[in-house]
Structure 1
């Protein structure tokens, strides 16, 4: 089958318009239309329903679009490997992780990566949905559980726990709870148990709510929870990695914590030799080592106090 026709079909299906596809491909609308008609004739199938608002794929068109989309992602992966030079790190790297980890831990550390690799372009995709790495929805992922998808290289980075935190100012004004029952005198700030999050975090929140905690503020990500805590709205359920970068936070009820949450870095097997992946992987591992050292020092200082 003619690859040029498939490439043009993919652009039209993706844009939903002959005109927009032509602009992307630097072809006239008539040239794009001719190629689509020729492809339909070769397949003896109608690929688009045409109407005033644009083009809609037929059932046959959807099947072909699924195939070309997979082909394009494979080509993107091959292009990424080809463009990675032996000595330099440059180009785009699509990184996905959760909103909380991405905003509170990863993003503040990215200047260290850019200092070393100024020509690297990071596309940071923060969402709770697990993107499909083998299908190239992203190049590398940091996830709060071990990836289950096949054909992935994975490395365990660290373990975190969900704990209770408040500011010095809040505790000075409202008092420090000594037992879980004392939380009934405070506003609890947490992720909604029904929102997408790690299972042990939801379990911890449900256990706390079972202790009659009437004042409540729920947010759908840990960044929002942190903002509520920093603004003295109450006591928040937060991952323990925030304490290093927000020294005004104080752990409340140290005996209350979630189970372990493993943090994994993963990327497709086909990107094993990517210089960009290697640079990002090494950067994250170095930051983890630095984080652990500072965390141990902080904990030592707190023990002395």
Structure 2
């Protein structure tokens, strides 16, 4: 099968339009249309339903797109490996992690990475869904559990715990609880039970709820919980890694915390020699070391 036609088909299926695909491929709409028609004739099938708003894949088109999508990811991986310089760090690096860790810990520290490697382009994908690294949905992942796939290189970065925090202003106006039972007199700010989160955080929230807490504010991510805490709304369940950047926040009930959650950095075996991956990995490890030192100095560990 003609790879050039498959490449054009993939671009059309991805864009949903002959015109948009032509822009990406730097081809005229008529040239793209001829290639698609030729491919359909060679396969003796229809790959697209055509309508006024664009193109929709047929069942046969979906099957072919699944195949070309896998091929496209593999070509991207090979291209990335070939383009990695032996001495320079440049180009795009796609990093995925959770919304909380990416927004509250990683993103504020990226200035140092860009200062060292100004030609590196980070595509930071923040979502709770675990992206498929071998299928090149991302290059590097920072995950709140050990990856299960065998063909990944992984390194344990640190352990985190969910703890209770409040602002000094809130505690001055409402008092500081001395026991879990006294939490019923305070507003609890936490992730809602429908949102994706580590099981350790969910278990701590469920335990707190058994104490008949009357007022709650639930949010679907830690950034929202943090905003509630610093806005003096109540006592929040937050990961301990935020304390370094928000030193005024006060830990409440120091004996109360979740079990430890391991944090892993992972990337595909095929990117073992990637200079971009190595630069990011070393940067994160250096920041973790600095983070631990800061926490020890604050007496927060």
What TM-score do the two structures reach when normalised by structure 2? Answer: 0.98
Aligned counterparts of 1:60 and 1:288: Cα–Cα separation in 2: 49
Aligned counterparts of 2:278 and 2:48: Cα–Cα separation in 1: 42
Shift of 1:161: 0.3
Aligned counterparts of 1:53 and 1:121: Cα–Cα separation in 2: 34
Name the SS of the counterpart of 2:159 in structure 1: strand
Shift of 1:119: 0.7
Partner of 1:161: 161
Aligned counterparts of 1:260 and 1:193: Cα–Cα separation in 2: 20
Give the alignment of 1:29-178 within 5 angstroms.
Answer: 29-178=29-178
Partner of 1:295: 295
Aligned counterparts of 1:32 and 1:117: Cα–Cα separation in 2: 38
Shift of 1:149: 2.4
Unaligned runs of 5+ in 1: none
Aligned counterparts of 1:55 and 1:169: Cα–Cα separation in 2: 57
Name the SS of the counterpart of 1:256 in structure 2: strand
Name the SS of the counterpart of 1:241 in structure 2: helix
Partner of 1:271: 271
Partner of 2:222: 222
Aligned counterparts of 2:24 and 2:35: Cα–Cα separation in 1: 15
Aligned counterparts of 2:103 and 2:16: Cα–Cα separation in 1: 34
Shift of 1:173: 1.2
Shift of 1:56: 1.0
Aligned counterparts of 2:78 and 2:214: Cα–Cα separation in 1: 55
Structure 1 position 248 matched with structure 2 position 248? yes
Shift of 1:150: 3.2
Aligned counterparts of 2:55 and 2:96: Cα–Cα separation in 1: 31
Count of aligned pairs: 301
Deviations 1:85-105 (A, max 9, x none): 000000000111111101111
Deviations 1:146-185 (A, max 9, x none): 1112311111000000000011111111110000111111
Give the alignment of 1:189-204 within 5 angstroms.
Answer: 189-204=189-204
Deviations 1:46-95 (A, max 9, x none): 11111222111111111110111111111111111111100000000011
Partner of 2:14: 14
Shift of 1:194: 2.1
Aligned counterparts of 1:150 and 1:58: Cα–Cα separation in 2: 35
Which moved further from structure 2: 272-281 or 28-37? 28-37
Say what the alpha-carbon RMSD is for the aligned residues: 1.1
Name the SS of the counterpart of 1:50 in structure 2: strand
Name the SS of the counterpart of 2:145 in structure 1: coil
Unaligned runs of 5+ in 2: none
Which moved further from structure 2: 275-284 or 48-57? 48-57
Shift of 1:280: 0.2
What TM-score do the two structures reach when normalised by structure 1? Answer: 0.97
Name the SS of the counterpart of 2:193 in structure 1: coil
